Every structure is written in C-alpha cells, then in structure tokens.
Structure 1
Amino acid sequence: MSEAPRTARGERTRRALLDAAESVFAEHGYADASIVRITERAGVGQGTFYLYFDSKLEIFEELVDDLNRRVRHAMTERATEGMTRIEREREGFRGFFRFTAEHPALYRVVREAEFVSPRSLKLHYSRIVEGYIEGLGTARDRGEVGDIDPTVAAWALMGIGEMIGMRWVLWGADGAAGADADPLASGTSELPDEVFEQMMRFIENALQARPGEGPSEGEGS
C-alpha cells in the first residue's frame, strides 16, 4: 500500500484521484473503469497515480472506505447529547438521504464491492451498524425504545434507509431509473418530505416502548 501524502498539495491530489474514481467507477463499473480514465478525470498523469495507490483495486477499496467515513459523518454530524433516540434517528436519516443525493455513486460502488472486494463490503456495513447497535442498546436501557434486539433493529433500520433512498432519491419521484446515458440516475433528488415522514412514522411505531416496557433494572432511576 502506498504511503499517505505528507503535504497539503499531496492531500489535494489524493482527494482529486478519489473524487475522480467515484465518478469513473459509478459511470463505467469496476470492470470497465481504468487508471487512465481516473487520472484523466483527475487531471493528473498516470505516474502520479502510483504515488498514492498501487492498483485499481486499491483505489476502489479506499473509495469504499472514504464513502463510508463521509456517510457516517453525515449521519451523526447533527446529533446532540440532549436528543432522544427517535430524534437521533430523524437527524441520522436526513443526513444519509442528503449524502445519497449528493453522492449517488455510493449505491453502485457499494454493490460492486460485493464481487470486487467482499471484505470492503462487510466493513462498510459493519462500521455503520456498530454505532447503531450501541445507541439502540443504550436507548432500550433508558426506556426510550421498546424491548428490542439492538442488532436486529440496527440491520433492519439500515435496510429501510437503503431501500427508501434507492427508490425515491436515486430513482427520483417517478420511480424510474435514470436514462441509459446517465448511470448516476437522472432522477437523483432530495427525498420528498411526505415520504420521509411516512418512513419515520413507521420507524417510530416499530421502536416505541409498549405499555409495561420500561428501563432495564438499575437504569433510568
């Protein structure tokens, strides 16, 4: 693996290569993407590429990791200590859908990782779900949500976000995939408010504590 850049200029070049890779992998898929296409999109020479990455596979795996870091930041940046679990869910989903609208390549890149780099795919989902499990477990102990299995709930919520985002953000309001000439999906848009509210209503009903369910023993007193 190539060493991390040591200068601000090096960081900018590395960022340009990752941004170019995001577009190229989304437009052409892993098989038809090439280092030449990536460097041309980034505006650098092929020799420069190898100062930062050893291969097409390495930049692909780094791109998955980079998208993962950024989407997790988008999901947590507006959360505050005083929020309830449901309020955190609302902010987290809003951040996720906003990021998806700005980076629709996330969908294609992550799906390709299943075949190109299964390890990267597992890391992507595992890193997102780890914080989810911890947060839901704490909320359950405080009585903010019902007596749920945090692991099952975390994976279910992640699935909801991914499918809702694909249907309304990636495909657009009419539900049709983008034109063949537009692999980034010409329908990409913000999630409609009414869809978001219906989704949150479903999630709130699923997570809410039922009569007789309270904080775990020793908690919340």
Structure 2
Amino acid sequence: MPMASDQEPIAGAGEGKQPRTERGRKTMRKLLDAAAAEFGEKGFHDGSISAITRRAGTALGTFYTYFDSKDEIFRALVNDLSGQVGARAAAALASETEALEKERAALAAFLRFAREHQEIYRIIDESEFVDPQGFRHHYETTASRILARLQQGIAAGELRDDLGEPEAWAIMGMNVFLGLRFAIWSDEIAPETVSAAVNRLLREGIGKKA
C-alpha cells in the first residue's frame, strides 16, 4: 500500500504533542502512514498500536511520545488524510484560473490521490462511528473549499450568481462516489477522462437542448 510523502501535511496530533524537530515530524509521519496501512487493512477495531509501530519501524514507547491512544492516532489520521486531499487539490489548482476548470482539476487530483491511497475510503467511512466529529469536519471542510471556489467563479462572472451551499455539497457528493467507482472499485478509466466527462455535465447540464 502506498505511503504518503513526508512532504505532505501532518494534522492535529493531540494538544502538546506536535513534533518540535524535523526528526520528530518524520517519526510522526511514519506513524501516521503506518496507521493508515493498519486501519486500511484491518479496520479500527482489529488494528493495534503494536502493529502500527512494527509497520513504522519504531519502538512501542515512541508511539506514546506522539499519541496517547489508538483513538487519538485514528483521529489524527482522519485529519491528516483530509489535509492531504486538500493539499493535493490546491496543488492541482495552482495553474488553473477558470472556475469550471478548477473543478475538473480538483476532481482529477482527488481521483489520483484515492487510487494511490485506497485506504482513505475505509478510514473516513469508519470515522463516522469512531470519530463522528472528525467525519463531519472532513466533509464540511471539503464542501467549504468547493463553495469558496464557486463564490470566486461567481465574483469573476463565470458562474450563475445563485449557486451556494447545496450546489457545493452536490459536487462533493458526486466526487465521493466517482472516487468509489473509478479509484476504489476499478481504475480502467483515466482520472482525466472521468473529470472531463463530469466537467461537461457541470457546463452543459443533462437537459436536452431545444
């Protein structure tokens, strides 16, 4: 299972436990990546701290330098994965200026990320019960990023001026299930092809033109 780059975000590890050195940051990155592999493969309840440290190649005591419990590293992992998705989208948007092209680029970036890190679906889904606050925060944060892009498109005169939160959540929901179909269940269609098809849907709708 692919591991995240040590250049990607590390989000919320518990109050007072943020690493203060580069070495500490890399160790926390190893633990979070190992937790993603462990929980992605076994789920939260069957995953264990000892297995996480074995995967990370760290001592058991090192775990408690950064996390107090299995619940805490799971919560940190949900935040971290959510942050990675946001960072990947932001990087993809850097070269785009037109509103709907931003949505195409963001979706393609998410599909590529989900293919590389298929564990994200199991972990985020399980967080609904293990970490309800993190589950809600993940989706609210994602929808708020989409809403901000829509508002920018409205301000630029590129989108209808009546778009708002319902449309942002609709786009997010569509993207989530596209990821399930074209990243988790199969990868026979390129992310760029999927995102282009969805972009046509956003641009033209599905009603037959008169």
TM-score bucket (shorter structure)? 0.7 to 0.9
- Which residue number in structure 2 is paired with residue 146 of structure 1? 160
Aligned counterpart in structure 1 of residue 47 of structure 2, from 30, 33, 38: 33
- Which residue number in structure 1 is paired with residue 203 of structure 2? 204
- Separation in 2 of the partners of 1:194 and 1:131? 23
- Separation in 2 of the partners of 1:59 and 1:113? 12
Query: Residues 144-197 of structure 1: CA distance to partner in whole angstroms, max 9, x if unpaired?
Result: 112433201110111111101101111115xxxxxxxxxxxxxxx773544332
Q: Which has the higher contact order (CA 8 A, sep 6+)?
A: 2
SS in structure 2 of the partner of residue 4 of structure 1: coil
- Which residue number in structure 1 is paired with residue 136 of structure 2? 122
Aligned counterpart in structure 2 of residue 24 of structure 1, from 20, 35, 38: 38
Aligned counterpart in structure 1 of residue 65 of structure 2, from 39, 42, 51: 51
RMSD, matched Cα: 2.0
- Separation in 2 of the partners of 1:194 and 1:201? 11
Aligned positions, number = 192
- Which residue number in structure 1 is paired with residue 106 of structure 2? 92
SS in structure 1 of the partner of residue 29 of structure 2: helix
Distance 1:149 1:63, change over 3 A: same
SS in structure 2 of the partner of residue 127 of structure 1: helix
- Separation in 1 of the partners of 2:190 and 2:162? 28
Q: Which runs of 5+ in 2 are unaligned?
A: 1-13
Distance 1:82 1:50, change over 3 A: closer
SS in structure 1 of the partner of residue 92 of structure 2: coil
Q: Which residues in structure 2 correspond to 1:170-189 (within 5 Å)?
A: 170-173=184-187
Aligned counterpart in structure 2 of residue 155 of structure 1, from 151, 161, 169: 169
Q: TM-score, normalised by structure 1?
A: 0.80
**Contact 1:4/1:52, CA 8 A, preserved across alignment:** yes
**Contact 2:34/2:52, CA 8 A, preserved across alignment:** yes
**Contact 2:108/2:192, CA 8 A, preserved across alignment:** no
The Cα shift of 1:64 comes to 0.6
Distance 1:190 1:76, change over 3 A: farther
Q: TM-score, normalised by structure 2?
A: 0.84
SS in structure 2 of the partner of residue 111 of structure 1: helix
Query: Residues 88-131 of structure 1: CA distance to partner in whole angstroms, max 9, x if unpaired?
Result: 11111111111111111111110000000100001111111112
Q: Select the structure of larger CA radius of gyration.
A: 1
- Which residue number in structure 2 is paired with residue 169 of structure 1? 183
The Cα shift of 1:46 comes to 1.1
Distance 1:160 1:106, change over 3 A: same
